[in-house]
Structure 1
Amino acid sequence: METVTIGIIGAGNRGEEHIRKYRGVDGATVKAIADIDTEAAGELADEFGIPDVYEDFEAMLDDPEIDVVNVCVHNNLHEPMAVAAFEADKHVFCEKPLAGSYTDAENIVDAANAADKLLAVQNVELLTPETQAARTFVESGDLGEVSFARSVYSRRRGRPYVDGYGTPAFVSKESAGGGPVFDIGTYEIGRNLYLLGNPAVERVNGQTFDYTDDSLGEELTGDNAELYRKRLEESGHDVEDAGTGAARLADGSRLEVRAAWHAYQPDERGVVVGSQGGIAFDPVELLTTMNDYETTVEIDVDGFETRHGLIRGESGYEVDERPNQYDHFVAAVRGEVDQIRTDEIALNSMLVMEGIYLSAERGREVTAEEIAEASVSRSIDL
Structure 2
Amino acid sequence: MRQIRLGVVGVGIIGKAHLEEYAGIPGASVVAVCDINGQEARAVAEKYGIPHVYADFRDMLARDDIDAVDVCLHNNFHAPLTIAALRAGKHVYCEKPIAGSYFDGQAMVEASRECGRMLHIQLGTLYKKETKAAKALIADGQLGTLFHARSNGFRRRGRPFVDGFGTAHFTRKASAGGGALLDMGVYHIAQMLYLLGTTGVVRMTGRMYQEMDMDRQRREESGFDVEELATGFVTLENGVTLDIFEAWAVHLGGVEGSSIVGSKGGIRLPSYHSGEQTGEFSFHTTVADLDLNSTVDLNRMDIRWHRMRENEDACDSSQRHWIAALQGRVPLLPTAELALAVQLIGEGLYISHTQGREVTADEVKETSRSLAVNI
Q: Same fold (TM over 0.5)?
A: yes
- Provide closer, same or farther for how the CA distance between residues 331 and 176 of structure 1 changes in structure 2, counting only shifts above 3 A: same
What SS does structure 2 have at the residue aligned with 1:268? coil
Change in 2 beyond 3 A, CA 1:196/1:70: same
1:272-329 CA-partner distances (Å, limit 9, x unpaired): 111000110111100112232221100111111123334569xxxxx97953211111
Instruction: Provide the rounded CA distance (Å) in 1 between the counterparts of 2:92 and 2:364.
Output: 26
- In structure 2, give the amino acid aligned to 1:244: T
Q: Name the structure 2 match of 1:375.
A: 368
Aligned position for 2:337: 344
| 1:280–1:286 CA contact under 8 A, matched in 2 | yes
- Of 253, 260, 269, the match for 2:257: 269
Whole-angstrom CA distance in 2 between matches of 1:335 and 1:134 = 26
Q: How do residues 1-382 of structure 1 correspond to structure 2 at under 5 angstroms? A: 2-212=2-212, 215-216=213-214, 228-265=215-252, 266-282=254-270, 283-311=280-308, 322-382=315-375
Between stretches 22-31 and 185-194, larger displacement belongs to: 22-31
Distance in 2 (alpha carbons) for counterparts of 1:334 and 1:117: 13
Query: Could you list the per-position Cα deviations for residues 239-290 of structure 1 after superposition, in whole angstroms to 9, with x for gaps in the alignment?
Result: 1111100111112111111111011234122101110001101111001122
Instruction: Determine if contact 1:207/1:360 at 8 Å carries over to the other structure.
Output: yes
SS in 2 for 1:103: helix
1:25-80 Cα shifts (integer Å, max 9, x gaps): 11110011101011111111011111111000111000111111001010000010
Q: Tell me, in whole angstroms, the C-alpha distance in 1 between the residues paired with 2:288 and 2:172.
A: 54
Contact 1:129 1:322 in 2 (8 A): no
Counterparts of 1:136 and 1:312 in 2: how far apart (Å)? 13
Give the distance between the partners of 1:83 and 1:322, measured in 2 at CA.
26
Counterpart residue type for residue 166 of structure 1? G
5+ residue gaps, structure 2, are: 271-279
**Contact preservation (8 Å) 1:211, 1:262:** no
Aligned mates of 1:199, 1:23 — CA distance in 2 = 33
Q: Distance in 1 between matches of 2:124 and 2:374?
A: 29
8 A Cα contact 1:144 1:277, kept in partner: yes
Structure 1 SS opposite 2:127: coil
Letter in 2 for 1:380: V
Q: Which 4+ residue blocks in structure 1 deviate beyond 3 angstroms?
A: 308-313, 319-322
Report the RMSD for the aligned CA atoms in angstroms: 1.5
Partners of 1:21 and 1:168 in 2: how far apart?
25
TM-score (norm: length of structure 1): 0.92
Query: C-alpha separation between the residues in 2 aligned to 1:196 and 1:93?
Result: 24
| CA separation of 1:268 and 1:312: change in aligned 2, threshold 3 A | closer
Contact 2:315 2:321 in 1 (8 A): no
Measured against aligned partners, the alpha-carbon deviations of 1:103-157 in whole angstroms (never above 9, x if no partner) come to 0000110111110000000011001111010000011001000111111012120
CA contact (8 A) 1:351 1:368 kept: yes
- What is the number of equivalent residue pairs in this alignment? 364
Structure 1 residues 324 and 55: alpha-carbon distance in aligned structure 2, compared to 1, 3 A threshold? same
Structure 1 residues 180 and 277: alpha-carbon distance in aligned structure 2, compared to 1, 3 A threshold: same
TM-score by length of 2: 0.94
Q: Which range is displaced more, 71-80 or 372-381?
A: 372-381
Q: Tell me, yes or no, if the aligned pair for 1:310 and 1:320 is still in contact at 8 Å.
A: no
